[in-house]
Structure 1
Amino acid sequence: MSYYWITLDMNGSPMKQLTVRKNQALVVKQRKRHPNRALTEAQIRQLLHHIDNIRDDALIRLGLAVGLRVSEAVAIRTSEIDFEWGLINIWDEKKDRWRLVMPTLDALSAIKKYLNALSKQPQYLFPISTKTVERIIQRHSRAALGFVISWHALRTTYVSRSVELEQSPAVVMLNTGDSPATILKYYTKLPEVVMRRFVESKPVIPAEQV
């Protein structure tokens, strides 16, 4: 790695006052980015099994269930959750509009358990900052998996697992808010084992009746 030392030449002309010397001691600290990797089924189970905080459990289960962006997760109002119909109204900042997402019953159950444990219902489901959310997923992933992931890895995991499990692209687009073109990129990169399952389960030539 190369470093640069910037010095000021007071005797030089205004255009030549700054001299940059390579391989000296000035180090510019760069932002540390954590991997955006999709988790396997085993890693998902391992991560969830480790969490013993009901708020964190509800938060991470919801992230895995619908692939929310971190900004969307912290902006959910409790009044926008419809437990009867199993829907949550999400404000999509990227597209500047509302969209409905459909979490699993498991995720909704975790949310209900979390809310029932509170003495007072909060205005926002998770009244914390996006930075706090990132720290939460980093802490739990490090302890449970031995490596650190970002919140966006939950979104990537949701899409990747949906493809592997042959989830309808329409459902994935609904939950993530991504465009058809974006989701199609994932569905055109199917693992061979999944492609084989598609081929054998839905053949163009119907099987002969015995």
Structure 2
Amino acid sequence: MAVFLGLQSLHAYAIFGWLPSIFAGAGISSVNSGLLLGLTTAVGIPLAFIFPALAARRQRPIGIMVVTGAGMLAGYLGLLLVPEKLPCLWAILLSLSIVNFPVIMTLISFRCRTAASVSVLSCFAQGAGYLLAMPSPFLFGAMYDIYGSWVPPLLFLILLVPPMTVMGVISTRPQTIEDELRDVRPPT
């Protein structure tokens, strides 16, 4: 869960921090580039209410993880290959990165039996996850500065979508943390 949350945050930070610059680099006006980020947010916020509710209704919401991963991958590929064509579609597909945060928060609560366990798992997942994601805005900008192109940073994000999706699928396991800890403790 910590790795999933970290990779999800890494994607969100890159999108919120650099999406207008990527669109502007493709020849889209700075005003329209900013509006495209607004579109990403405007679509992502309502979905951030819908997707956790859908996750809560399923034993294992694997499909949600696959849909968000596939959508992000398609959005990044569109941004990489033809950013000036269908930019609204790429912005909408990238809004799925916003959806993953409330979904993982929902899954954290379902993986625990007690409020204390939720608190411990949430603190660990968020602390370790944000530590993993923290350098990403700098790294993304540094890659652009080094290569003078958005291609390497976008390839970096594309390469991180499959591991994020796999970690998300693993996070949907139905066992509680208490059950998992019991399974790894040596018998007394």
Q: What band does the TM-score fall into relative to the shorter chain? A: under 0.3
TM-score by length of 2: 0.26
Q: When you count strand as a share of all residues, which structure comes out higher?
A: 1
Q: Which has the higher helix share?
A: 2
Larger radius of gyration: 1
What TM-score does the superposition give when structure 1 sets the normalisation length?
Answer: 0.24
Q: Which has the higher contact order (CA 8 A, sep 6+)?
A: 2
